[in-house]
Amino acid sequence: MSGTLYLVPTPIGNLEDVSQRIADTLAQADFIAAEDTRVTMKLLNHLGLKKPMAPYHRHSTEASGRAILNRLQDGESCALVTDAGTPAISDPGEELVAQCAALGIPVCAIPGPCALVTALAVSGQPTGRFTFEGFLAMNKKNRQAHLDSLRWEQRTMIFYEAPHKLAATLQDLCSTFGADRPVSLCRELTKLHEEVRRTTLGQAAAYYQENAPRGEFVLVVRGAEKPEELEPSLEDGLVLVDRLRGEGLSLRDAVRQAAKELGLSRNQLYDLALGK
């Protein structure tokens, strides 16, 4: 019989956030699969645990994943941890869980620290409906496509970002959603210098042009507020057509794609693009 894969969250800053169940699961697993064994060793030392570890990081998920799956199929239990927070959420694990599901290997997720939930809860932004967007892509085209897809999003949006890319990301969010859009910058959560800056995208972008960001950030951006004012217009369609043409699409294809994406009339948009 297969062993179980346990998804074990670890502190995002405060070591006191290890629950009894998290500690027990780490203690009872046959081995621990870790994103960085040196980071996890510090946690195990804090908990007074000694355990065999296996690597599982984003650059070797295939080879190391195969080895973990073999051990699980041989009946061993595995606790998967990452450097901080919940495995499989913008962290290695998603693929391993899918592989376990396909092979009928039991997976058990232990609740615990997660930066996105902690940030959303403290943000002061509406929490009833939200969308987690993770990290924006580095690639310019993918990044722009991601932002374009969110232009009329009404739910609260949550982004992860590394400090050295924060200023550029705030500029891009500002261009997409406008300078007045409220944002909560949740920094160093659960740590000594935890800070929640509730401001606007314009003010945040200006501030971080002048001041180097320090620490880890989650950005919680308010969704579009008044849907009636934000229905895409034919002029918005024209802007998208121009961009798609710049990416090499023919006028006909650009109109078709823009009309579909924005829910506009293809004929009207085509006429406008032709200047009729």
Interacting span for ligand SAM (CB under 6 A) from 26-34, 67-75, 114-122, 236-244:
114-122
Question: Which residue in 23, 27, 97, 114 binds ligand SAM (CB under 6 A)?
Answer: 114
Cβ 227 to ligand SAM shortest distance, Å: 29
Is residue 6 near ligand SAM by the rule CB under 6 A? no
Within positions 202 to 221, which residues make up the interface with ligand SAM, using CB under 6 A? 216-218
Question: Which residue in 78, 80, 89, 240 binds ligand SAM (CB under 6 A)?
Answer: 89
Residues 209, 213, 219, 224, Cα dihedral to 10°: -10
C-alpha distances out from residue 234 to 7, 14, 191, 199, 271, Å: 47, 50, 48, 31, 10
Cβ 236 to ligand SAM shortest distance, Å: 30
Cβ 71 to ligand SAM shortest distance, Å: 23
Cβ 79 to ligand SAM shortest distance, Å: 15
Tokens matching residue 245: 């043409």
Q: Who's near 253: CB < 8 A, 6+ residues apart?
A: 244
Sign of CA dihedral 15, 20, 22, 24: positive
Residues that bind ligand SAM (rule: CB under 6 A) add up to a total of 24
Is residue 84 near ligand SAM by the rule CB under 6 A? yes
Q: Who's near 190: CB < 8 A, 6+ residues apart?
A: 11, 12, 13, 14, 17, 113, 118
